[in-house]
Chain A
């Protein structure tokens, strides 16, 4: 395997390996049991928030390319503006790709000891879609931001 393609597959694997093993709500169990890797976007969000509303917020900043250079390894960085004190901090950052077969890309759990709420990785995008970041705050709210990333075969001027 070439160094580069190895890196590619490594990057992809790393991005999607950090899945939460099992988060299921009562509602889920009543219906058909859906594994975390098969959840659609709405179910995946509900599994994170427990049905609480997502609040769009400028405190959550996604840094991702407008047009992916390579859909297999799209660099994404999420930064959440927070003092990260014992009283007010970011408990987790969740990264989702809204239209991937597996919409859940990464769940990162933080403590005030992290100092800043920032996380970067590379994710695989199966096509043009929104990359969504959800920040689970210590006060129990869920802040969110999204960015559309275009995956294209190209075409040029």
Chain B
């Protein structure tokens, strides 16, 4: 490994060589190696009620590595605001120190080096110990555990058990209420079966029947809200599932159900909870996405707290808009958000929040959780633990445009299908494999385990490819958060392009090159894609080539044995100089 002076400084910090510690009471900004369980648990307890919040676990019941993005850019009005912060800009915005445990969890900086020192994140056995600690401190009757969804999908285990293993994990954790998004990709029937197995309530005010021949036409599919009493207070919780489920995921899974933001009915339920149900506190449990929920807070009056999800942002401090406090708790089980609320005379008087990192090496595992995980994994262990090959460099998922693991998947697809171009979706879930480590079948499933895994190969004319790219870019970079869908840009194999993110819709992409040659608008290209609807836009679908992406990827890695991903982005950003720009700036 080459070690630059800067790297050495960070490694030195990680290993505790020299350098003074910086201490503060608010969070855990001690030098990372000095942080202990006490610092993780440290909290200025407040009031009578505690809401524990998790989101976007993506079925990771075991600890994992998860590197945050090194490029996170949106429209110029949003870049550098909460939801579009990374690296140095993230630390600056939240007033955090680098080289701390929190910085290791929240940013990509020095990830490889710090990962070796501090180890994995999350895992239900560790989360449970933390949850038990809070319940003991506060009294179990004063604590609620709320889950913003994207919990049932994301690993091989979730896929093989069609969600059941994860429901068992939620029951073990003691989840009280949840909403959904990827949950729906198991299909309506399975969703209802899993809800039967789930001890938590599944609520959503924004899922309505739209089949005029069905009994539930224009009726709510789930309870829109629930009221729970904790610490002597009535807490009204309204559910908001992912508004764009039917556009972002195949429609067939939710045929007959209509989603959408439905802010008018959301306002109605907020008012109803306050005036008719006389609750003391109104909470929206949401899978809208962090930036969308900031817009929701601007448009809907009277919400005390939005517990957000979908966009996987760690947010160490709440964002407050029009008196509504918005929190979001990262992804993949890396964090548990703790929100203490002081409710007096039927009103919220104050609150205290901390995004608690689930550092698996520091928070001891609950033995019952370890046993549950082992039992659930046992039938699949042989398949999942197969070492497919080794990676020389770090493989991760998150980035606005390009990631090494997606590059590997695109390489596998192009190699297998002999296609000109490969589209891999810009999902925000996946995993991280450190440089020098083994790529297992489990890691490949972590990146690809969906209920519609097929790689399709078809023909598209150049002009169509251009307009598809523009369409996808507008879903990612629309200056109005309500028109974004919360994903990152699709990852392209075989293609390089320039993008001007701040340009108007339809005019962002230029200089598209396919295999080094300019895209010809009239030429027919052989395109492969998975995880989206692009094949519907193509012609001459080659059914004989259609295969699940996890098989394509696994076989490719087996053939390669040693993977060495270049990692250079194939996208040239014209209007920003770096991956984590500050607010109102082109640069970092």
Which A residues are closer than 8 A to B by beta carbons? 3-4, 7, 63, 65-70, 75, 128, 148, 150, 152-157
Task: Enumerate chain B residues within 8 angstroms of A65, measured Cβ to Cβ.
Answer: 260-261
Task: Enumerate chain A residues within 8 angstroms of B212, measured Cβ to Cβ.
Answer: 7
The answer to whether the Cβ of B533 comes within 8 Å of any Cβ in the partner chain is yes
Task: Enumerate chain A residues within 8 angstroms of B407, measured Cβ to Cβ.
Answer: none
Task: Enumerate chain B residues within 8 angstroms of A155, measured Cβ to Cβ.
Answer: 248, 425-426, 471-472, 475-476, 485, 487, 490, 532
Task: Enumerate chain B residues within 8 angstroms of A157, measured Cβ to Cβ.
Answer: 248, 289, 310-312, 426-428, 485-488
Task: Enumerate chain B residues within 8 angstroms of A75, measured Cβ to Cβ.
Answer: 210, 258
Mask: chain B, 444-470; 1 = CB below 8 Å from A; 0 = not:
000000000000000000000000100
Mask: chain B, 529-540; 1 = CB below 8 Å from A; 0 = not:
001111011000
Task: Enumerate chain B residues within 8 angstroms of A66, measured Cβ to Cβ.
Answer: 243, 260-261, 482-483
Contact yes or no, A3 B213, CB < 8 A: yes
26 sample A-B contacts, Cβ–Cβ < 8 Å, listed by A number: A4-B255, A66-B243, A66-B260, A67-B247, A67-B260, A68-B247, A69-B247, A69-B260, A75-B210, A128-B505, A153-B534, A154-B532, A154-B533, A155-B248, A155-B425, A155-B471, A155-B472, A155-B476, A155-B485, A155-B532, A156-B244, A156-B249, A156-B425, A156-B427, A157-B248, A157-B488
**B402 smallest CB distance to A (angstroms):** 16
Contact yes or no, B264 A156, CB < 8 A: no
Across the two chains, which residue of chain B brings its CB closest to A64?
B260
Contact yes or no, A152 B258, CB < 8 A: no
**A69 smallest CB distance to B (angstroms):** 4
Contact yes or no, B213 A153, CB < 8 A: no
Bound: A155/B473 CA distance, A: 9
**B291 smallest CB distance to A (angstroms):** 12
Task: Enumerate chain B residues within 8 angstroms of A156, measured Cβ to Cβ.
Answer: 244, 248-249, 425-427, 485-487, 531-532
Task: Enumerate chain B residues within 8 angstroms of A128, measured Cβ to Cβ.
Answer: 474, 505
The answer to whether the Cβ of B155 comes within 8 Å of any Cβ in the partner chain is no
The answer to whether the Cβ of B391 comes within 8 Å of any Cβ in the partner chain is no
Bound: A154/B485 CA distance, A: 8
Which B residues are closer than 8 A to A by beta carbons? 210-213, 243-244, 246-249, 251, 255, 258-261, 264, 289, 310-312, 425-428, 468, 471-472, 474-476, 478, 482-483, 485-488, 490, 505, 531-534, 536-537
Contact yes or no, A153 B258, CB < 8 A: no
Contact yes or no, B468 A67, CB < 8 A: no
Bound: A66/B246 CA distance, A: 13
**A143 smallest CB distance to B (angstroms):** 19
Q: Which of B212, B428, B490, B536 has the most CB of A within 10 A?
A: B212
Across the two chains, which residue of chain A brings its CB closest to B531?
A156
Bound: A148/B478 CA distance, A: 12
Contact yes or no, B483 A148, CB < 8 A: yes
**A130 smallest CB distance to B (angstroms):** 13
Task: Enumerate chain B residues within 8 angstroms of A153, measured Cβ to Cβ.
Answer: 468, 471-472, 532-534, 536-537
**B215 smallest CB distance to A (angstroms):** 15
Across the two chains, which residue of chain B brings its CB closest to A71?
B247
Bound: A22/B438 CA distance, A: 72
Task: Enumerate chain B residues within 8 angstroms of A3, measured Cβ to Cβ.
Answer: 213
Across the two chains, which residue of chain A brings its CB closest to B478?
A150
Contact yes or no, A7 B427, CB < 8 A: no
Contact yes or no, B264 A63, CB < 8 A: yes
Bound: A105/B487 CA distance, A: 33
Task: Enumerate chain A residues within 8 angstroms of B471, measured Cβ to Cβ.
Answer: 152-153, 155
Task: Enumerate chain A residues within 8 angstroms of B487, measured Cβ to Cβ.
Answer: 155-157
Closest 3 CB pairs of A and B: A157-B487, A156-B248, A157-B486
Bound: A66/B472 CA distance, A: 16
Across the two chains, which residue of chain B brings its CB closest to A63?
B264
Bound: A70/B244 CA distance, A: 11
Contact yes or no, B251 A69, CB < 8 A: yes
Across the two chains, which residue of chain A brings its CB closest to B483?
A150
Q: A65-B260, A156-B248 given. 15 additional CB < 8 A pairs?
A: A65-B261, A66-B260, A66-B482, A67-B483, A67-B485, A69-B251, A69-B258, A75-B210, A152-B475, A153-B468, A154-B533, A155-B485, A156-B426, A156-B486, A156-B532
Task: Enumerate chain A residues within 8 angstroms of B427, measured Cβ to Cβ.
Answer: 156-157
Bound: A63/B249 CA distance, A: 24
Bound: A13/B310 CA distance, A: 37
**A117 smallest CB distance to B (angstroms):** 17
Task: Enumerate chain B residues within 8 angstroms of A69, measured Cβ to Cβ.
Answer: 246-247, 251, 258-260
Contact yes or no, B260 A154, CB < 8 A: no
**B317 smallest CB distance to A (angstroms):** 23
**A155 smallest CB distance to B (angstroms):** 4
Task: Enumerate chain A residues within 8 angstroms of B255, measured Cβ to Cβ.
Answer: 4
Bound: A70/B258 CA distance, A: 10
Bound: A75/B260 CA distance, A: 11
Contact yes or no, A152 B247, CB < 8 A: yes
Task: Enumerate chain A residues within 8 angstroms of B258, measured Cβ to Cβ.
Answer: 69, 75
Bound: A3/B264 CA distance, A: 30
Task: Enumerate chain A residues within 8 angstroms of B425, measured Cβ to Cβ.
Answer: 155-156
Across the two chains, which residue of chain A brings its CB closest to B482?
A66
Contact yes or no, B483 A70, CB < 8 A: no
Across the two chains, which residue of chain B brings its CB closest to A127?
B471
Task: Enumerate chain B residues within 8 angstroms of A68, measured Cβ to Cβ.
Answer: 247
Bound: A66/B537 CA distance, A: 22
